Amino acid sequence: MPGPLWVCLALMWVGSCHAHSLFTCEPIRVHRCLETSYNMTFFPNMMGHYDQDIAYNRMQPFMPLINLKCSPDVHHFLCQVFIPACTEENKVIHPCREQCNAVRSDCEKNIHTFDVPWPPEMCEKLDPCSVHGSPVPLTTPAISSSAKRELGFWCPLQLKTKPGHGSSFLGAQDCAPPCSNMYFKPHDIEFAKSFIGVCSIICLGATLFTFLTFLIDVKRFRYPERPIIFYAVCYSFVSLIYFIGFLLGNNAACIKAANPAGVDTVVLGSQSKGCTLLFMLLYFFSIAGIVWWVILTITWFLAAGPKWSCEAIEKKAVWFHSAAWGIPGALTVMLLALNKVEGDNISGVCFVGLYDLDALRYFVLAPLCVGVIVGLFLILAGIVSLNHVRQVIQHDERNQEKLKKFMIRIGVFSCLYLVPLVTLLACYTYEQSHRSSWENTWINDRCQEYSIPSSCNGGTTDHERPDLSLFLVKYLMTLVVGISAVFWVSSKKTCSEWAYFFNRTRNKDPISESRRVLQESCEFFLKHNNRVQHKKKHYKPSSHKLKVISKSMGTSTGVTPTSPPPPKKSLNLHDTLQSTGQSVPLRSTLGRSI
């Protein structure tokens, strides 16, 4: 077979695999072929196998022929077929046709006995032997730079994972990124972990302060401001999970190597129950925090635009809770079904979209965009409505000043929430647009270390690498969003409530408090018993006779009541609207919040 035809066949094998982008020799790791006269090999081989693991597995049915030594050349021949020789001059040495026919003829009986799947076309693919009976070397083909990018990534042996867990890295199945970060040095990762740990502690303290302030006086925070408390609770869980990730290091985000020659890899898919649990909590409460922000803007708009009362808004609380917890729950279940759990070797937690760009776009960027756009639109509409009310009550200086302060508080609070959220959105957008370039740079830097026949050419010197500050800003904005809730509860009233709470707690005597509770309980039961006995003593059967009232002319056909009917209570418009659950003027709604 002429040399150009061999080149065409090699190009066809390369085109059939979505793997390497440049061909280089790699050390032999298959122990059955370590005793041969060569120690370097090249893939894909003539059988279309893409790495040594696959070739060794396909070689197993031929092992009886090697063990029985049915032919003098059977061992060397099969190693050259499955693990071909590669010389330092980038030449691949395949066996020749006559050698293949000789081995097949010697081992034909054993092939039928052990049902060895010998391909009929194996010998036909080979070149005839040279004059001296030695195989003809083949120079590895040179691939253009445009073809290199089309061939993709070929997972090295060190990054192989156990099959069946759904792990996929750079398009290669049963493959995962290394636990040591792909882009940054170890001391940079240690600094980032410490930074995330400190930020998570600060955010956890701020959100817990907001929630505890709510518990001290529950009636103080009613709708439309009640969602602030719920979204503070969501971000307290987010910060707590990041703090747990800081304490665990990479124990949850990484797993041990699947084979002795491998390295620790990042968790992808359902490889770790602990990582899956961290992902569920982190993603659920992250999305729930965004949904509660949107609900907060909706309640503010209802109070400012249509001028709904607190009671009317509170009647819709069931729908608010259904949306706030149902939407994140549905998205979390969907990601678990799609097996999109990914470990983060920087923060130590597990999230989504760290290596899968499609998951990042649809499950992280899309909810963020919707939350920012809808929330901003409703906030602006509510502020416009409040400004219109402020112009209507120009002569009421006291309420006008209160309304002005309330508008300022809404504006500042919205900025404290939206600025970090928009910054986080920009970080994710920049990351997803440059992720492919960063991964190509990593492949080029690590192709020799992991023996990846990839873009190891020294001609490309301009490689794009990420900056650590981008990831630090991303984690900071993720956590600092929850701190904005402290601004809303920070007031003199909050300080006085905490001071009263601590004074009351410090002055309480446990024994005296127990006596007081018992004494009040006894007094209650005694009064209740006396009241029941008094009713039995003055019981009159005639008093329980039914009075029949005629519906025709409004006259009574029964016993005429001795006492006159109670006077009708006059109701003003405000009481009527409140009793029917309809809206009341904005002043009654905002006076309490201010």
Task: Return the pLDDT at 498.
Answer: 84
Note whether 296 and 231 are within 8 A (CB).
yes
* Partners of residue 265 on adjacent β-strands: 178, 255
CA dist., res. 145 & res. 278, Å (int)? 42
CA distances from 328 to 288, 322, 323, 335 (A): 6, 10, 8, 11
Instruction: Give the mean model confidence (pLDDT) for residues 100-115.
Output: 87
Residues 6 or more apart in contact with residue 207 via CB below 8 angstroms: 232, 233, 235, 236, 239, 482, 483, 485
- For 156-209, write each residue's pLDDT tens digit: 778 888 877 778 888 778 888 889 888 899 999 999 999 999 999 999 999 999
Instruction: Confirm whether 5 is domain-assigned.
Output: no
CA dist., res. 413 & res. 485, Å (int)? 8
Instruction: Give the mean model confidence (pLDDT) for residues 389-396.
Output: 67
- For 346-361, write each residue's pLDDT tens digit: 999 999 999 989 999 9
- Domain check: are 195 and 113 in the same one? no
Q: By CB neighbour count within 10 A (0-12 exposed, 13-18 middle, 19+ buried), where does 305 fall?
A: middle
CATH number of the domain to which 75 belongs: 1.10.2000.10
Reported as a pLDDT band with limits 50, 70 and 90, residue 56 is confident
Task: Return the pLDDT at 512.
Answer: 57
Task: Return the pLDDT at 175.
Answer: 86
- Domain check: are 177 and 306 in the same one? yes
- Domain check: are 217 and 165 in the same one? yes
Closest listed residue to residue 356, CA positions, set 168, 508, 152:
168
- Domain check: are 274 and 423 in the same one? yes
* The pLDDT of residue 324 is above 90: yes
Instruction: Give the mean model confidence (pLDDT) for residues 339-349.
Output: 92
Task: Return the pLDDT at 4.
Answer: 41
Note whether 347 and 475 are within 8 A (CB).
yes
- Domain check: are 358 and 286 in the same one? yes
Instruction: Confirm whether 518 is domain-assigned.
Output: no
Q: How many separate helices (H) and strands (E) can be counted in the chain? A: 21, 11
Residues 6 or more apart in contact with residue 26 via CB below 8 angstroms: 40, 41, 42, 43, 52, 86, 451, 453
Q: What is the DSSP track for 75-126?
A: HHHHHHHHS-EE-TTSEEEPPPHHHHHHHHHHTHHHHHHTT----TTTTTTS
- Domain check: are 338 and 269 in the same one? yes
User: Which of 143 and 183 is assigned the larger pLDDT?
Assistant: 183
* The pLDDT of residue 236 is above 90: yes
Residues 6 or more apart in contact with residue 344 via CB below 8 angstroms: 245, 253, 350, 351, 354
- For 485-519, write each residue's pLDDT tens digit: 888 787 788 888 888 888 876 655 555 555 555 66
* Partners of residue 91 on adjacent β-strands: 139
- Residue where a domain stops, chosen among 501, 533, 553: 501
* The pLDDT of residue 89 is above 80: no
* The pLDDT of residue 155 is above 90: no
Reported as a pLDDT band with limits 50, 70 and 90, residue 585 is very low
Task: Return the pLDDT at 145.
Answer: 36
Cα dihedral: 56, 61, 67, 72 (round 10): -90
Instruction: Confirm whether 180 is domain-assigned.
Output: yes
Q: Quick one: how far is CA 222 from the chain centroid?
A: 31
- For 408-460, write each residue's pLDDT tens digit: 777 778 888 889 999 999 999 999 999 988 988 888 887 777 766 544 544 44
Task: Return the pLDDT at 472.
Answer: 94
Instruction: Confirm whether 517 is domain-assigned.
Output: no
- Domain check: are 57 and 170 in the same one? no
What does the buried/exposed string (b/e) look like for 383-421 if buried means 16 or more CB atoms within 10 Å of the residue's CB? bebbeebbeebeeeeebeebbeebbebbeebbebbbebb
Instruction: Confirm whether 31 is domain-assigned.
Output: yes
State which amino acid sits at residue 288. Answer: A
Note whether 20 and 450 are within 8 A (CB).
no
Reported as a pLDDT band with limits 50, 70 and 90, residue 225 is confident
Task: Return the pLDDT at 43.
Answer: 80
Closest listed residue to residue 364, CA positions, set 270, 275, 287, 280:
287
Instruction: Confirm whether 72 is domain-assigned.
Output: yes
Between 234-238, 282-286, 397-401, 485-489, the lowest mean confidence (pLDDT) is in 397-401
- Domain check: are 101 and 173 in the same one? no
Task: Return the pLDDT at 2.
Answer: 44
Average pLDDT of the chain is 76
Reported as a pLDDT band with limits 50, 70 and 90, residue 477 is very high
- Domain check: are 186 and 105 in the same one? no
Task: Return the pLDDT at 205.
Answer: 92
- For 538-583, write each residue's pLDDT tens digit: 555 544 443 433 333 333 333 444 444 444 444 443 443 343 444 4
Note whether 368 and 290 are within 8 A (CB).
yes
CATH number of the domain to which 204 belongs: 1.20.1070.10
* The pLDDT of residue 102 is above 60: yes
- Domain check: are 96 and 199 in the same one? no
Instruction: Confirm whether 570 is domain-assigned.
Output: no
Residues 6 or more apart in contact with residue 273 via CB below 8 angstroms: none
Question: Among the ranges 18-22, 51-55, 265-269, 284-288, which has the highest mean pLDDT value?
Answer: 284-288
* The pLDDT of residue 261 is above 80: no
User: Which of 281 and 39 is assigned the larger pLDDT?
Assistant: 281
- Count: domains in the chain: 2
**Three-state DSSP class for 266?**
strand
- Domain check: are 41 and 185 in the same one? no
CA angle 45-130-3, nearest 5°? Answer: 55
Residue 553: left (phi > 0), alpha (psi -120 to 50), or beta? left
Note whether 53 and 30 are within 8 A (CB).
no
- Domain check: are 266 and 358 in the same one? yes
Positive/negative CA dihedral, 73, 78, 81, 85: negative
Task: Return the pLDDT at 166.
Answer: 76
pTM across the whole model:
0.63
- Residue where a domain stops, chosen among 455, 480, 501: 501
**Three-state DSSP class for 218?**
helix
Task: Return the pLDDT at 531.
Answer: 63
Domain span at 424: 159-501
- Residue where a domain stops, chosen among 443, 475, 501: 501
Instruction: Confirm whether 308 is domain-assigned.
Output: yes
Task: Return the pLDDT at 308.
Answer: 82
% of the chain residues with pLDDT over 70 = 71
Reported as a pLDDT band with limits 50, 70 and 90, residue 469 is very high
